[in-house]
Chain A
Amino acid sequence: MILTFFYHLGRFVNLLKLMIARPENGGMYWKETMRQMNDIGIGSLIIVCMIALFIGAVSAVQIAYQLGGQIVPMYYTGYIVRDMTIIEMAPTLTCLVLAGKVGSNIAAEIGGMRQKEQIDALEIMGVNTAAYLVFPKIIAALFVVPLLVAIAAFVAIIGGYLAVVPTGMITESEYVFGLRSFFVPYNITIMFVKAVVFGVILTSIPAYQGYFVGGGSMELGQANMNAVVYSNITILFFDFIITLMMT
Chain B
Amino acid sequence: MIRAVDIKKSFDDVEVLKGISTVFEKGKTNLIIGRSGAGKTVFLKLLVSLMSPTDGDIWYDDVNITTLNKRELIDLRKDIGMLFQGSALFDSMTVEENIRFPLDMFTKKTKKEKQDRVDEMIEVVNLEGSNNKYPGEISGGMQKRVGIARSIVLNPKYLFCDEPNSGLDPKTSLVIDELIQKITRENKITTIINTHDMNSVMEIGEKINLLHQGRLAWVGNKDEVLESDNELLQNFIFASPFLQRLRKRAMNNK
Contact A126 B104 (CB under 8 A): no
Given A118-B90, A126-B75: A24 touches B105 (CB 8 Å cut-off): yes
- Chain B 134-175: CB-based contact to A (< 8 A → 1; otherwise 0): 000000000000000000000000001000000000000000
- The verdict on B180 contacting chain A, using a C-beta distance below 8 Å, is no
Provide the bound-state CA to CA distance between A77 and B48, in Å. Answer: 65
Residues 62-93 (chain B) with a chain A CB within 8 angstroms: 74-78, 80-82, 84-86, 88-91
Contact B106 A123 (CB under 8 A): no
In the complex, which residues of chain B have a beta carbon less than 8 angstroms from the beta carbon of A127? 105
Contact B88 A118 (CB under 8 A): yes
In the complex, which residues of chain A have a beta carbon less than 8 angstroms from the beta carbon of B101? 125
- Chain B 103-124: CB-based contact to A (< 8 A → 1; otherwise 0): 0111000000000000000000
26 residue pairs from A and B, CB less than 8 Å apart: A24-B105, A25-B104, A25-B105, A28-B105, A116-B86, A117-B85, A118-B88, A118-B90, A120-B88, A121-B84, A123-B50, A123-B77, A124-B48, A124-B50, A124-B77, A124-B80, A124-B81, A124-B82, A124-B160, A125-B102, A126-B74, A126-B75, A126-B76, A126-B77, A127-B105, A128-B74
Total number of B residues with any Cβ neighbor in A under 8 Å:
23
Binding site for A on B (CB under 8 A): 48, 50, 74-78, 80-82, 84-86, 88-91, 101-102, 104-106, 160
Provide the bound-state CA to CA distance between A116 and B85, in Å. Answer: 9
Given A125-B77, A126-B74, A128-B74: A120 touches B102 (CB 8 Å cut-off): no
Contact A117 B88 (CB under 8 A): yes
Residues 108-140 (chain A) with a chain B CB within 8 angstroms: 116-118, 120-121, 123-128
Provide the bound-state CA to CA distance between A178 and B189, in Å. Answer: 75
Contact B105 A121 (CB under 8 A): no
Given A24-B105, A121-B82: A116 touches B88 (CB 8 Å cut-off): yes
In the complex, which residues of chain B have a beta carbon less than 8 angstroms from the beta carbon of A128? 74
- Nearest-CB distance from B125 to chain A (Å)? 17
Given A124-B48, A124-B50: A117 touches B84 (CB 8 Å cut-off): yes
- Chain A 87-124: CB-based contact to B (< 8 A → 1; otherwise 0): 00000000000000000000000000000111011011
- Chain A 155-195: CB-based contact to B (< 8 A → 1; otherwise 0): 00000000000000000000000000000000000000000
Provide the bound-state CA to CA distance between A125 and B82, in Å. Answer: 8
Please tell me the size bucket of the interface on A.
10 to 19
Q: In the complex, how many residue pairs between chain A and chain B have their CB atoms under 8 Å apart?
A: 49
Provide the bound-state CA to CA distance between A28 and B104, in Å. Answer: 7
Residue of B nearest to A121 (CB): B88
In the complex, which residues of chain B have a beta carbon less than 8 angstroms from the beta carbon of A25? 104-106
- A-B contacts besides A27-B104, A120-B50, A121-B84, 18 pairs, CB < 8 Å: A25-B106, A28-B104, A116-B86, A116-B91, A117-B85, A117-B88, A118-B88, A123-B50, A124-B50, A124-B77, A124-B81, A125-B77, A125-B101, A126-B74, A126-B76, A126-B77, A126-B78, A128-B74
Provide the bound-state CA to CA distance between A24 and B74, in Å. Answer: 10
Residue of B nearest to A120 (CB): B50
Provide the bound-state CA to CA distance between A124 and B80, in Å. Answer: 7
Residue of B nearest to A126 (CB): B77
In the complex, which residues of chain A have a beta carbon less than 8 angstroms from the beta carbon of B88? 116-118, 120-121
In the complex, which residues of chain A have a beta carbon less than 8 angstroms from the beta carbon of B86? 116-117
Contact B106 A24 (CB under 8 A): yes
In the complex, which residues of chain A have a beta carbon less than 8 angstroms from the beta carbon of B78? 125-126
Provide the bound-state CA to CA distance between A125 and B103, in Å. Answer: 10
